[in-house]
Structure 1
Amino acid sequence: MAASRSARVAALAALALAFAVPAAAQTPTVELQPADPGSAVVEELLVVARPPGPALWLVEKNGAKLYVLGSAAPLPHQLKWDSPRLNRALDQASLVLVPPEASVGPMQVTKFFLTGGGGVRQGFGKKLEDRLPPDLKERFVKARTQARRTAIPYKDWKPAVAGFVVLSDFRQAAGLSEAKPVSTIERMAKAKGVKVKAMSQYRLGPVLSAAGKLSDEANLACLRDALDEIDYEAPRWNTLGTDWANGDIASVRARYSSSAAQRCLLRAPGGAGLLADQIGQSAKTLSEALERPGVTVAVVDLAFLLPSNGVLDRLRAQGATVTSPN
């Protein structure tokens, strides 16, 4: 029973990660499609010669300074990168803001179990792989084999959840970290004695509710999305993230223009609203940071920065100056 409960918690966490971590926002107000010119701020700074390290922007308003580092998970555990500009920013900073974290209370977890997994578990006696179309079953078996897993950890979950759990398992087996670069930057900040704070907390309930309302067709589509992501990452596991570490925004844009988690969530009722709320909350938090004196460093997923009307565009529209620091 304990092992089963642990597996359910792991699946719950994987689902929250897949749905709640920002990726390539595709709502009407922050759409990033091939025809979309993208963020005006990002496009202007693309013509500037890239200094060493990941992309970093300096946002200034009324004497306050905000350094925004764009993140792009997952990254290889062994990826080596250095950023003199980030180090200098951390030397000046009194606060580092990191992405929102999930708020998961005991009552949420208990309700999740008592309601049969919030609508994201298979019905009694129905095993996942037995319900998949032949082509998807073949791809799923290949993916879990790459992840070094048997069918057992996924058998009770609906296709969408199983897809994101196997994606997370694959990344772990391949040496990719979904926590980086945020965890690295947190360590850097703490080593310098700089306070680290999450931008906000998001409630897990709406995420689970949206996932539980996915239709059978949408569940299979979400599984395909997750398997597509594994197919993309599998031949690139040891070099994935090099473009991010080198500040190559054009290459990051190509990788982030399509996200399994985003496409899946947009298929769920209310999914687009959840995504719009996330990017709006990020912009609001950074705007508030510019109201405090001194220097703040913020880590924001690049997919929130790259689209037109993304975080950087919104900050500039509010009167801030955005440049690339030397």
Structure 2
Amino acid sequence: MRPWTVLLCFALAAPAALAAPTQVPPSAATATAAPVPADVPLLAPVVVSGVVSGPGLWKVSKDGHVVWVLGTLSPLPGHIQWESREVEQVLAQARQVLPEPRIKLKADIGFFGKLFLLPSAYGARKNPDGKTLDQVMDASTYQRWLALKRKYIGDDRGIERWRPLFAAQELYRKALKANGLSNDGGVSGAVAALAKQDGVPETPVEYRVEIKHPGDALKAFKAAAPSDMECFSRTLDAIEHDLPAMTARANAWATGDLAALRGLPDSHRRDACVTAITSAGFAHQLGLDDIPAQMEVVWLAAARDALAKNDTSFAMLPMEELLSPSGYLARLKAQGYAVEAPQGLDDAPAAAGSAVAPAAAASTTH
């Protein structure tokens, strides 16, 4: 990882949630828990495991050309083996794969410059003036942090000098691992392996940000750093209270229950953390304040290009962009493209019908 990405990596990570490591067979259905009295402790939710197929695919088409889109989610159950026959069939026919959009950082700096920059990057991770977490937040919030830190991180004194933004990300990462969830359940790696096996090229979808003077960028971060207590508090909330719903979302994805997934609440923790970055003064100086809009522009252009060139293409997008009435697929629909949701989700905001993956490759195996 290039050292200046330390400032941004947490904001670019996929949304995460908590789950318990208890396992059930993959065929087990995910049920919605009935309300319980406030004084009755909640049992840890059960996490799906084993071989799962995940959700069906969205279909975007125009003039006989199609892009099949897989909605991704993070986190997912950590003990699943994702095998989608539908995706295998599509990739056997596809001419192009579009991965999830991401930021591509480029900096004008040499090898020795990187070595000297690294300590500065880690310095930016710390609170200014050597302050500790208990000195930059109220006592009640700090006590919540201490309780969760003891549970998931342990006796780490160094993290007490980190900015709340970075401390929150580390706590969240540790909590996910401890509770049996993974970043993406191995889905992205499985797609890449299938595409390589079928000889389907992957076209990165990237919003490029050039940082000509990384040292100045770090100084800008220290001088106009984000206000990160909202992100910190939302992270504590997610770990303490959002476990059942967030685990249910992961299970719903794994079992392909899109109707349940759409109805389950998100903690919006990631939104708070990304906003902390994009609204900070340094973000404007680096051209990072309009990241969401720019990434949408880049992906839509790539999708239109794939639809113009290929009979069949495959893409991956975060699930919220598929379910949202203002997401990427809704934008394509407004531009005249036909958008069909998977079976069982005919009334999705971006849907125009029920999509069924092509059967022409039904005999193909991997």
Q: TM-score by structure 1 length?
A: 0.73
**Cα separation, partners in 2 of 1:248 and 1:197, compared to 1, 3 Å:** same
Count of aligned positions: 289
8 A Cα contact 1:163 1:226, kept in partner: yes
Distance, in Å, in 2 between the alignment partners of 1:302 and 1:188 is 21
| 2:10 match | 18
Shift of 1:127: 2.1
5+ residue gaps, structure 2:
17-52, 343-354, 357-366
**Cα separation, partners in 2 of 1:100 and 1:94, compared to 1, 3 Å:** same
| 2:234 match | 225
| 1:317 match | 334
Distance, in Å, in 1 between the alignment partners of 2:262 and 2:114 is 36
| 2:347 match | none
Q: Does 1:293 align with 2:299?
A: no
| 2:150 match | 145
Amino acid in the other structure paired with 2:196: K
| 1:196 match | 202
Shift of 1:113: 4.1
1:203-253 superposed Cα distances (whole Å, 9 cap, x missing partner): 3869986897455xx321110112222235655787651111233334333
**Cα separation, partners in 2 of 1:254 and 1:139, compared to 1, 3 Å:** farther
8 A Cα contact 2:71 2:317, kept in partner: yes
- Equivalent residues in 2 for 1:164-243, closer than 5 Å: 164-180=169-185, 181-203=187-209, 213-214=224-225, 218-232=227-241, 234=243, 241-243=250-252
1:244-289 superposed Cα distances (whole Å, 9 cap, x missing partner): 1233334333556442121233242467632222223222221221
8 A Cα contact 1:222 1:260, kept in partner: yes
1:168-208 superposed Cα distances (whole Å, 9 cap, x missing partner): 22223333222443233223323433323321144386998
**Cα separation, partners in 2 of 1:192 and 1:239, compared to 1, 3 Å:** farther
8 A Cα contact 2:68 2:315, kept in partner: yes
Distance, in Å, in 1 between the alignment partners of 2:96 and 2:264 is 30
Q: Does 1:135 align with 2:136?
A: no
Q: TM-score by structure 2 length?
A: 0.66
SS of corresponding position for 2:59 = strand
8 A Cα contact 2:153 2:171, kept in partner: no
Q: Does 1:103 align with 2:109?
A: no
SS of corresponding position for 2:126 = coil
SS of corresponding position for 1:155 = helix
**Cα separation, partners in 2 of 1:92 and 1:211, compared to 1, 3 Å:** farther
Higher-Rg member (1/2):
2
SS of corresponding position for 1:322 = strand
Distance, in Å, in 1 between the alignment partners of 2:170 and 2:272 is 16
5+ residue gaps, structure 1:
1-5, 25-51
Shift of 1:294: 2.4
8 A Cα contact 2:248 2:264, kept in partner: no
8 A Cα contact 1:18 1:261, kept in partner: no
1:6-43 superposed Cα distances (whole Å, 9 cap, x missing partner): 9x96x955x6343234669xxxxxxxxxxxxxxxxxxx
Q: Does 1:155 align with 2:160?
A: yes
Q: Does 1:125 align with 2:130?
A: yes
Distance, in Å, in 2 between the alignment partners of 1:211 and 1:232 is 32
Moved more, 140-149 or 292-301: 140-149
Shift of 1:80: 4.0
**Cα separation, partners in 2 of 1:293 and 1:77, compared to 1, 3 Å:** same
User: Which one scores higher on RCO, CA 8 angstroms, separation ≥ 6?
Assistant: 1
Shift of 1:62: 2.2
Distance, in Å, in 1 between the alignment partners of 2:207 and 2:103 is 6
Moved more, 277-286 or 107-116: 107-116
8 A Cα contact 1:253 1:306, kept in partner: yes
| 1:35 match | none
- Equivalent residues in 2 for 1:250-265, closer than 5 Å: 250-255=259-264, 257-265=266-274
**Cα separation, partners in 2 of 1:184 and 1:173, compared to 1, 3 Å:** farther
- How much is the aligned-residue C-alpha RMSD, in angstroms? 3.6
Amino acid in the other structure paired with 2:255: N
Distance, in Å, in 2 between the alignment partners of 1:212 and 1:245 is 44
Q: Does 1:94 align with 2:111?
A: no
